[in-house]
Amino acid sequence: MVKILLVDDDVDLTSMLSQYLVREGFDVTTVRDGETGVMEAISRDYALVVLDIMMPRLSGIEALRRIRATSPVPILMLTARGDDIDRIVGLDLGADDYVPKPCTPGELVARIRAILRRTEGRGSSGMAAAQRMVQVGELTLWPGNRQATWRGASLELTGTEFSLLEVLARHSGQLVSKQDISQQAFDRPLARFDRRIDVHISSIRQKLGTRPDGQSWIQSVRGLGYQLLED
């Protein structure tokens, strides 16, 4: 069974969500504060962590920071609806996705399964296609095990960053709309005012550095999308 860690101090919500997740075939562990959540997340083998932002003892943002310091486990953040600052900070620190609260159990399960598909290297084109190496110049991606190298050195990416970069690499030299990026990387249409693609692209740009001419390897066209340059 796929093991999920649910970290939230809302007793009623966690009870409802955990019961639904169990019915959907997941093995669920729940904890009710951020400090315990960090200890649990880094000491056991979970497929995914669901992490609330507002919690006692340790905020979800700080818990995310501590987990990311030692573990690449996929993390789905639960955020207050409209809480843009915490949401963007969370994505910037390495969260794989977020769900605004209150959320339905069905929506949460859909997001969890979408993240697991991405991190397991499976997609609509099938396992064989997902396993094939993708190379663009000095960038090499191995979708099967979510590994990447840049200029001969390991490139550390979060799960979401890998998914975004993979989409751009498969369309290198072409402008890809944010709507297409969202659909291919996250398995859903881009929501209005959703800035997570921009936040993650900014992080990827920093990790790739600049071209000899001082420009970014990932070019943007305002209002249209992004393009990974080939050389």
- Rounded Cα gap, residues 210 and 7, in angstroms: 38
Q: Encode the chain (231 residues) as per-residue pLDDT tens digits.
A: 799 999 999 999 899 999 999 999 999 999 999 999 999 999 988 999 999 998 888 999 999 999 988 888 899 999 876 666 666 677 777 888 888 887 889 989 988 998 888 776 443 444 444 457 899 999 999 887 778 999 999 999 887 888 899 999 999 999 999 999 988 887 778 877 778 888 889 999 999 999 999 999 999 988 789 999 987
**Residues of each domain in the chain carrying CATH 1.10.10.10:** 127-228
Amino acid in the structure at residue 105 = P
- Options 3.40.50.300, 3.30.750.24, 3.40.50.1110, 3.40.50.2300; CATH for 2-119 is 3.40.50.2300
Beta bridge partners of 98: 77
3-state secondary structure 34-50: HHHHHHHHHHCCCCEEE
175: helix, coil or strand?
A: coil
Taking the complete model, does pTM exceed 0.85, yes or no?
A: no
Contact partners, residue 190, CB within 8 Å, separation at least 6: 178, 179, 181, 182, 183, 197
| Measured CA distances, 58 to 38, 45, 50, 65, 228 (Å) | 9, 22, 15, 11, 38
- Rounded Cα gap, residues 150 and 226, in angstroms: 19
Give the per-residue pLDDT at 91.
Answer: 75
**Residues of each domain in the chain carrying CATH 3.40.50.2300:** 2-119
32: helix, coil or strand?
A: coil
Architecture of domain 127-228: Orthogonal Bundle (1.10)
